[in-house]
Structure 1
């Protein structure tokens, strides 16, 4: 089947502007770009979601991506599709005890908390050398 140049160019243009969905395969896919907050909900997820929503600007300002593990699965603040390797990394990092895990941009676990305390998380992030440099930039 022959395609005219106009049809080919139209297809190329559609593909170029089509939204692409990135599939994060590992926690390391976020390294050097984002800090990560892994949260295991022991029961009711609604108060956790409400706290995350209420602090959206502070979360974005700190380049923080969160993943909430609940009885119905995992949801996250990133628009990425959650690959099987990423899901396994999240569950392995949280461990059996669950709670909350903060991972720095360098990919290292920076803190563990028994439950979500965003003030403690923000304080810990703001004390990190990389974050201090970020805050010092005009």
Structure 2
């Protein structure tokens, strides 16, 4: 199987720099989960959200591996990652009681590969290619994130 051209640079940067141990996981089966009509409103001030469009199962598994490698970094940044394919929204690093509707997520993604949503619920950045260094840098440059880092 050929790895995705979008995720490999993402993984490579963190595999080289991460001291985290690798733990295998699979995307959560979300068929039983219902849609939350107010998902993004409910997540405000709790999580930043990264919506990532995945093209196939291979790309979804690569994204899941990335999540495993960067679990600590994601937690520190209050970053919830949702993988989206043509039919399903997958919560990749957090157990959720419900998910945003596929239509709402696709509307937010538009034609982008990924979209970063801030704690305030607003779209902060749009990405054509997933670059973990850039995404984490974008988050770390946000005023609220800088305050979080000072408080710790």
TM-score (norm 1): 0.74
What is the Cα deviation at residue 46 of structure 1? 2.0
1:102-113 alignment runs, 5 A limit? 102-113=116-127
Work out whether 1:57 is the aligned partner of 2:69.
no
Specify the alignment match of 1:124 in structure 2: 138
- For residue 52 of structure 2, what is the aligned residue in structure 1? 39
Counterpart contact for 2:41–2:121, Cα < 8 Å: yes
Structure 2 unpaired stretches of 5+ = 1-32
How many positions carry a matched residue from both structures?
116
1:45 aligned counterpart, secondary structure? helix
After TM superposition, give the deviation of residue 71 of structure 1 in Å. Answer: 4.6
Pair member with larger Rg: 1
1:91-136 CA distances to partner (integer Å, 9 max, x unpaired)?
21012x2400001001111111112222111100000000000000
Which is further off, 45-54 or 29-38?
45-54
Cα-to-partner distance string for 1:13-47 (whole Å, 9 max, x where unaligned): xxxxxxxx997432111001110000001332222
Q: Helix, strand or coil: the match of 2:120?
A: coil
Q: 1:88 to 1:29 in 2, by over 3 A?
A: farther
Q: TM-score, with normalisation over the residues of structure 2? A: 0.68
Q: 1:82 aligns with which of 74, 98, 113?
A: 98
C-alpha distance 53-71 of structure 1, shift in aligned 2 (>3 A) = farther
- What is the alpha-carbon root mean square deviation over aligned residues? 2.2
